[in-house]
Amino acid sequence: MAFITTAVYKKLIGSEVNHTTKVPNDLYQELEYHFGISQVLSQYELGLLGEHIRICSRNCENEIKKLFLHPKEDHFLYVFETIGAYKYHLFEGCIYLNNDFNNYIVPEEVRERGVDLVCKYRNWFVGNGFDKIEGDEKEIVSKITFSYNSSFAPINELPTLNESYKLIVSLKNSTYKNSEKYYNLVNIQSKIKEYSRKYKIQFSNKTILNLMRYSHYVSFSKGNIESKVAELTSDVFLKNYGFDKLIREFNEANRIKYVIIEELKLYINFRCGFKSNDLSKEVLESYGLVCCKACYERSLVNSNTG
């Protein structure tokens, strides 16, 4: 068996969501009957559950079909972005399975000006050693924004940033592993019902409930969000409601949905007989993943000494 990080697992289940992978109808009807999921999850999120079923099913197949998860590309969103194939790990104790770290967001105003300015910003950021600054997040952001506003922004004719601008994101590399020892069907059912009820109470307004079906848009650009909201409501809704308030609502909706989806995966595992989410390396390699260099070297040492 092989191990992957939670981040890579999310990439796997999202790799074909645009192809509208569906939860089998009998299982969907069961989930709807017990938990009323159609009022909580959008087709996008139901597609994630469908992908979870597809990947776990493939791990039980004898014949591994060749699929492909496109290698990591540079989306110019962060100061540090690693490109290339995603990795799997042969050892659960590999440090890269749980190697959490901070990354630094490239300001939207910089990204809008194109790749050349993003590269210039990255060089400026690293050249000033901002990734080496110690202290709490507020202090670090304050130092970066002060230098940005006094040097980088005026030189490149950019608007200044305020100190509440989000520049740091904590990326979690926790191991993705849900095996049968975690199953307690009664607890799983109770948790899904509890959080579904909370969600429906939190977003009882019909218009807001409808908008929360697109809570995954929270990572999209402001322009894309505004366009989608205008399409679903009116041109003046967002002006009256407030963009920042909507983003807070999106984040809260995603927080509750995350718990529901994770519990639904466990319920699906129980229902479909998936005893473990540990994937074989053959399945992972069929998606284009490659072995982590540290694990590969360790396996060579073990084979030579064994």
Q: What is the pLDDT of residues 209-229, one digit of tens each?
A: 999 999 999 888 889 999 999
Q: Would residue 9 count as lying in a domain?
A: no
Cβ-contact 295, 90 below 8 angstroms: yes
What band does 172 get if pLDDT is binned at 50, 70 and 90? low
Residue 274: per-residue pLDDT? 73
In whole numbers, what is the pLDDT of the chain averaged over residues? 83
Which of 171, 189, 217 is at the close of a domain?
Answer: 171
| 195 lies in the same domain as 270 | yes
This prediction's pTM: 0.59
299 — pLDDT class (breaks 50, 70, 90) = confident
| Domain extent at residue 245 | 17-66+178-276
Q: Does one domain contain both 187 and 164?
A: no
CA–CA dist 168, 152 (Å, integer):
18
Give yes or no: residues 207 and 270 share one domain.
yes
Whether the CA torsion 214, 216, 221, 222 is positive or negative: it is positive
What is the per-residue pLDDT across 5-37, written as a single tens digit (0 to 9) for each? 877 877 777 655 454 568 889 999 999 999 989
Residues 222 and 251 in one domain: yes
Question: Would you say residue 243 has pLDDT above 80?
Answer: yes
231 & 187 share domain: yes
Give, in order, the Cα–Cα distances in Å from 234 to each of 204, 230, 238, 245: 19, 5, 8, 17
Q: Using CA atoms, how far apart are residues 197 and 40, in angstroms rounded to an integer?
A: 9
